[in-house]
Amino acid sequence: MADASGDHSAAKSWALVGGIASVLSILAWLGVGSPGELKDLLTDSPPSSSSPAPSTSSPTDRIPDDSDNGEESADEPEPDPEPSTPTPTPDPTESAFEAVSAGDCLPVHDTGRGGTTSVDWSAGAPPDPVSCAGEQAQVQVTAVNTDCPAGYGKSYWSYRSTTTGDTTKLCLSRVYHANYCILGRQSGDSISLALMTAVACRREPVPAPYNQIMHITGVYRAPAGADANNCRRVAGDQTRYWAALVDDGATLLCTTIYQGS
């Protein structure tokens, strides 16, 4: 019985030695040189699973946008500039009308080619103003952009711009000078004076319906009850005069049929 017990003890010893040897072999295969390293390895190793977990970002793990860091992304394109409204082409005629002020005098007149129903101005746009005391002044601007009064020796000149659609209106009063000429329309013994016209004092064809050139013999302050008899320049003057009261009756305009060559 003593021998059998000793054999059994020896077998257990060899089994323990074999087990230790196996453990040492496994540790060597794992690259672990001591029990402490084995403990660290077991602590750091994640729990096993049947398949590797997919690599996903946590909901809080995102690339910050411009609002997070206050900086503009270098890869973000610059926004397209808003299209600018094109500047309309200036209208030089409108500019010329807008440059005129009440009180200005202009060297323009009615040519008479519009007949008795319309005015044909001698310029396409208001020229530069001239001295109202000079003989170049033919009309005076009495108001701008308002209803213009009617009357003998009064008219208006308006222009509507096709660029802006705006209308500029000049109210005009005729300026008369002695020894200048205007157009007239004679019917029998009566002559109607075209008071906004001007024409050279020489015998030449005139635009229809006019048929006379009228010579201005005088421009006077009108006395009460003034008529053509107040146009006589000397006692016994037998000249035939045709007269008109202009400037709201304040001025007497005296004319005769032009007899020059």
- For the chain, the structural domain boundaries read 91-175, 177-261
- pTM beyond 0.75: the answer is no
Strand, helix or coil for residue 143 = strand
Which residue, among 194, 210, 200, has the nearest Cα to 180 in the 3D structure? Answer: 200
pLDDT band at 84 (very low <50, low <70, confident <90, very high): confident
Rounded Cα distance between 5 and 201, Å, is 166
Q: Among 140-144, 193-197, 231-235, where is mean pLDDT lowest?
A: 231-235
What average pLDDT does this structure show over 192-221? 96
Q: What's the N-to-C CA distance of the chain in angstroms?
A: 179
Rounded Cα distance between 170 and 148, Å, is 8
Cβ neighbours of residue 174 closer than 8 Å, sequence gap 6 or more: 109, 138, 139, 153, 154, 155, 195, 196, 246
pLDDT band at 260 (very low <50, low <70, confident <90, very high): confident
pLDDT band at 61 (very low <50, low <70, confident <90, very high): very low
Which residue, among 222, 228, 225, has the nearest Cα to 254 in the 3D structure? Answer: 228
What average pLDDT does this structure show over 35-55? 51
